[in-house]
Amino acid sequence: MQPNVSQIIECNIHDLGLHGEGIGAINNFTVFIQGALPKEFVRAKVTQVKKKYAIATLISVLKQSKDRINPKCPYFEKCGGCQIMHLSYDGQLFYKKKRIEDAFLRIAKLKLEKEVIMHKSPDEFAYRNKIQLPATKEQGVLKLGLYARGSHDIIPHDKCLIHSKLGEKIYTRVLQALEKSSLTPYDEKSMKGELRHVLIRTAVFNKEALITFITTKAPSCELKAVAKKIFDDLDEVKGIMHHKNAKATNAVFDRDFTNLFGRDHIFENLSNLSFKLSSASFFQVNSFQAEKLYKRAIELSGLTKNDTALDAYCGIGTLTLLAAIKARHVTGIEVVPSAIDDAKGNMERNKISNVSFVCAKVEDKIHEMGALDVVFLNPPRKGCDKHVIATINKKRPKTLIYVSCDPATLARDTKLLIEGGYKLDMLEGFDMFPQTMHVETLAKFTLELP
C-alpha cells in the first residue's frame, strides 16, 4: 500500500541509494530518505509518491546507527558536493563495497567467489585536485559556491574540505579578488551576468595550479585585472585561462580557450612520469589514490616485454605510458582530439617510444588492431560500447584489466565477457571519492576458454 504525500511515517533503514539516501520501506513500499543511514529507525515526511517508490524528508532519527558521525563541513546539509559525510569512513567503505557486490549479483547474476578488496584513500579530506565553482551573489557581494543537493541553486562556500590544500589556498585568494571586483555572476534563469564558473586545477605532487574563468563573453578589462592580480600574487599559479560559454546550457565548457597569463597548462608527476594537464584534460581527481590504482592495474596485468597491449579510452595517456614501461608496445585510443595531442606530448616528454596514439572511437578502431596480449579498458560511466566487448571476445587477448567508475555498467560488461569465455579473477574497489557514494572498481579477467 502506497503512503500519501505529507504523511508522517516511521521505518527502518536497510541500505543506501546511489546518491547516499537511506532506503527503507513502509508496508513493503520503498521509501528514499535523504540523511538517514542503514540500521537506523527514523521518522520522516513523505514529499513525493511515484509508481514504485516514495521520497521523504527526514524529521528525526529515533534509533541511531553506530556509524553516524557529525559532518565536519558546515555546508553539508545543503551542499550537493558530498552525500555521506555523516557516515564514518569505515561505514563508507563498507557500503561502497556492498554497492559493487550488489551490482554483480543483480546485473551480472554473479555471486563473487572472492571478497571485494577495498583500498582506502590516502586522505579522507583535501584530496580533490580539481574543483569547478559556479558564481552567485550574496548580500550584493560576488561569491563562488557549489550546487545544492538535487538542484541548481548555488550555496556560497568560503572553503571546501575535500579540495586539496594548495587548491584551497588559491581558492581563498580568488574569492578575495572577486569579492572586490565589479564582475557580475551569471543567472541561469534570466541568462544575464558575466561570470559563470571558476575552475581551479592543481598538480598536488608538482605544486602547480591552473585557473580558468568561464564567462558569457570575451574577457572584460575587469576580468583581466582580477586575473592579473591573482597571477602576480601566487607563485604556484602557472597560468590563467579564459573560456567563453554563452549558451543556455548546464554544460561548463563549450569549445575554445584563451590564455590570459602564463602557461595554458600545468605539469603533474605520477609514478615518476610527467603529464601535461590543460583546463579540459581528464585526470583522476584524487592524485594520491590514482597512483595506487594505476600501479595495481599494471601489476595485475602481468605485462612483460614480449606483450602487445591496448589502452582503450586512454585520455591523455596516463595508463598507456605506465604500461609501456613494462610492455613491448602499447596503443592508446581516445576520441577527444585535445586529449590525444596531450598524450603525444606526454609520450615525447617522458621519452617513451614504444607507444602509438590513435584519435578515434574505440568501437571504430579496435577491430583493426592486430593480435593483443593485454587490453586495458577505462571507459566513461556508460561503460564499453557493445561492439568493443564483442571484438574483444573475438580477438581473445589473454588478460583484460577494466577500470570502471560505475559498478553497474562494469557488471553488465562482465556478463558479456564471461559469456565470451573470460573468467573474472579479481575485483577490487578504490575509494577515489571519500565523502561521496562514488567508487572506482578495478577488475581483472583472464581467458578461460581457448
* Digitized pLDDT (tens) for each residue of the chain, 450 residues in all: 899 999 999 999 999 999 999 999 999 999 999 999 999 999 999 999 999 999 999 999 999 999 999 999 999 999 999 999 999 999 999 999 999 999 999 999 998 988 999 999 999 999 999 999 999 999 989 999 999 988 889 999 999 999 999 999 999 999 999 999 999 999 988 889 999 999 999 999 999 999 999 999 999 999 999 999 999 999 999 999 999 998 877 777 777 899 999 999 999 999 999 999 999 888 999 999 999 999 999 999 999 999 999 999 999 999 999 999 999 999 999 999 989 999 999 999 999 999 999 999 999 999 999 999 999 999 999 999 999 999 999 999 999 999 999 999 999 999 999 999 999 999 999 999 999 999 999 999 999 866
Contact yes or no for 22/42 (Cβ under 8 A): yes
Q: How many CB atoms lie within 10 A of CB 192?
A: 11
Residue 272's region, left for phi above 0, alpha for psi from -120 to 50, else beta, is left
At residue 449, the pLDDT reads 67
Q: Kindly report, as residue ranges, where domains of CATH 3.40.50.150 are found in the chain.
A: 97-122+286-447
Residue 9 CB contacts under 8 Å (≥ 6 apart), including other chains: 3, 26, 31, 43, 44, 45, 46, 56
Q: Which residues are annotated as a binding site?
A: 284, 313, 334, 378
Take residue 157 and report the three cell numbers written for it: 562556500
Residue 142 φ/ψ, nearest 5 degrees = -65, 130
Q: Which residues are annotated as a binding site for S-adenosyl-L-methionine?
A: 284, 313, 334, 378
Q: Kindly report, as residue ranges, where domains of CATH 2.40.50.140 are found in the chain.
A: 8-63
- Statement: 130-270 belongs to CATH 3.60.40.10: no
Q: Which of 160, 314, 384, 405 is catalytic?
A: 405
CATH number of the domain located at residue range(s) 8-63 in this protein: 2.40.50.140
pTM of the model: 0.94
Take residue 21 and report the three cell numbers written for it: 539516501
d(CA 416, CA 89): 34
d(CA 328, CA 323): 9
Q: Which CATH superfamily is domain 97-122+286-447 in?
A: Vaccinia Virus protein VP39 (3.40.50.150)
* Residue 79 falls in the annotated catalytic set: no
DSSP bridge partners of 427: 443
At residue 79, the pLDDT reads 93
At residue 450, the pLDDT reads 64
Q: Kindly report, as residue ranges, where domains of CATH 2.40.50.1070 are found in the chain.
A: 130-270
At residue 436, the pLDDT reads 97
